[in-house]
Amino acid sequence: MRFDLQNIMQKSRPLKVLYVEDDKETRDLTKELFDSFFENIFVAEDYQKALEIFLDEEIDLVITDVLLEGKSGVELAKKIKSYKDVPIILFSAYDKNRFNDLECIDCFLLKPIDLNSFMRVLMKVL
């Protein structure tokens, strides 16, 4: 599949993105990738911090890991959707068939994040 990178970048740059990942190494590496697509990235390492950021900022897109400290990324997605219908991308090292109750998720990505897969998902939510 071919991507119109310029179009994707033009649409994604101004978005305010909430990125949630509890693993520091993964968080740092993935944020580097996301910095290429988004100007405004708010980073959280757990459910509580993510919810605080979401309530304080006008977030346009949420990208979260499924397994977080405390509550899961799915629980976070449900809570966020109760406030605002914002696109949510969930990612995990495990296949989505291992998880229940994913109707609150707009897209699912496997880790490690593949650039082509990420761009395909980003096109869906933009």
Residue, of 25 and 5, whose pLDDT is higher: 25
CB crowding 19-40: b at 16 or more within 10 Å, else e: bbbbeeebbeebeeebeebbee
Name which of 13-17, 65-69, 93-97 the model is least confident about.
93-97
pLDDT per position as a tens digit, 59-77: 999 999 998 988 999 999 9
- Sorted by sequence, the CB contacts under 8 Å of residue 119 that are 6+ apart come out as 3, 5, 8
CB 49 within 8 A of CB 73: no
Digit-coded pLDDT (tens) for 17-58: 999 999 999 999 999 999 999 999 999 999 999 999 999 999
CATH architecture of 5-125: 3-Layer(aba) Sandwich (3.40)
Domain boundaries, the chain: 5-125
Two tokens at 5?
Answer: 């990178």
Distance CA 84, CA 56 (A): 13
